[in-house]
Amino acid sequence: MPDDYEVRTVSGDVVDEGGLSAPGRATWPGAGPDPGWPPEGGRIEVRTFDLRSPALPGGIAVWVGAILLGLGVYLVLSATFPAVAAAGSAVVAAGGAALLALGLSRRRGSWAVYVGAIVLAGGLAGLGQAVGLLPGGGWTTLAIGVALLGLGAWRAGRGAGGRTLVVVGGVLAVVGGVQVAGSVIPGFPTLSQLVVPILLVGIGALVLWRALRGR
């Protein structure tokens, strides 16, 4: 694709006995002469459009480095000062809520609903942990899992499926729920202690189902 191209259009009122003649017609360079073009009373205007995206100042490496530097500084400050973590989580939650509202109001595409719901859930979980309302760990995983379940239900309500979102959200919700329970309830088995039993139950149920189905 060339970096730029020309569009030739007719400007002015070009009217014949049948009314407006050839409104908005365009010719491309190299297409050859067009007899009778432009019609009488019009004139050709040539406009050039540049298709090249403006280069990022300093290159993309500068922006990636700046983002990583800012993220690192934020993580260090949030680990040292709880107020910074709470403020950052609140900003993240607010951004997610704004995206979700824009997506639901159809001012943006459906991507805003997905991203907004996930970011909002993660931000709220981080804010709850930062202010001490959610003790222990696993809350972010649980919140994102619940958000995905909600997105799956939203898609199903629109007749667009959502089975994958429900499956992934269910797995994350279970994993996060086990982590939360293990960190909050004394004596509750940890996730690593439950992995093998869960796998055995799942494999056993699958084998039993296939065996009974084959009869």
88, 71 in Cβ contact below 8 A?
no
Better pLDDT: 130 or 45 = 130
Amino acid at 174: V
**Angle at 12 (CA atoms; ends 8, 16), nearest 5 degrees:** 105
Spell out the residues 6+ positions from residue 88 whose beta carbon is closer than 8 angstroms to its own.
74, 78, 126
Q: What is the CA radius of gyration of the chain?
A: 29
Q: For residue 88, which of 114, 62, 125, 142 has the smallest C-alpha distance?
A: 125
pLDDT at residue number 108: 76
- Contacts of residue 214, defined as CB under 8 A and 6 or more positions apart, other chains included, come to none
Decide which of 177 and 40 is more confident.
177
What DSSP state is assigned to residue 27? B
Mean pLDDT comparison of 69-73, 79-83, 121-125, 196-200, highest-scoring range? 121-125
**CA 170 – CA 174 distance, rounded (Å):** 6
State which of 35-44, 92-101, 188-197 shows the largest mean pLDDT: 92-101
8 and 44 in contact (C-beta within 8 Å)? Answer: yes
The pLDDT of residue 14 is above 70: no
Q: Residue 5: what pLDDT? A: 45
Residue 81 has pLDDT above 70, yes or no: yes
**Tokens representing residue 2 in the block:** 């060339």
4, pLDDT greater than 80? no
Say what percent of the chain tops pLDDT 90: 9
> Contact, 161 vs 151, CB < 8 A?
no
Helix (H) or strand (E) holding 43: strand 43-50
SS3 144: helix
Mean pLDDT of 45-71: 61
pLDDT, mean of residues 146-155: 90
| Nearest residue to 45 via CA among 10, 4, 6, 15 | 10
The per-residue b/e assignment along 134-150, b for 16 or more CB within 10 angstroms, e otherwise, is beeebbbbbbbbbbbbb
Of 184, 124, 182, 179, nearest in space to 150 by CA: 124
pLDDT of 139 higher than 50: yes
Residue with tokens 């003649």: 21
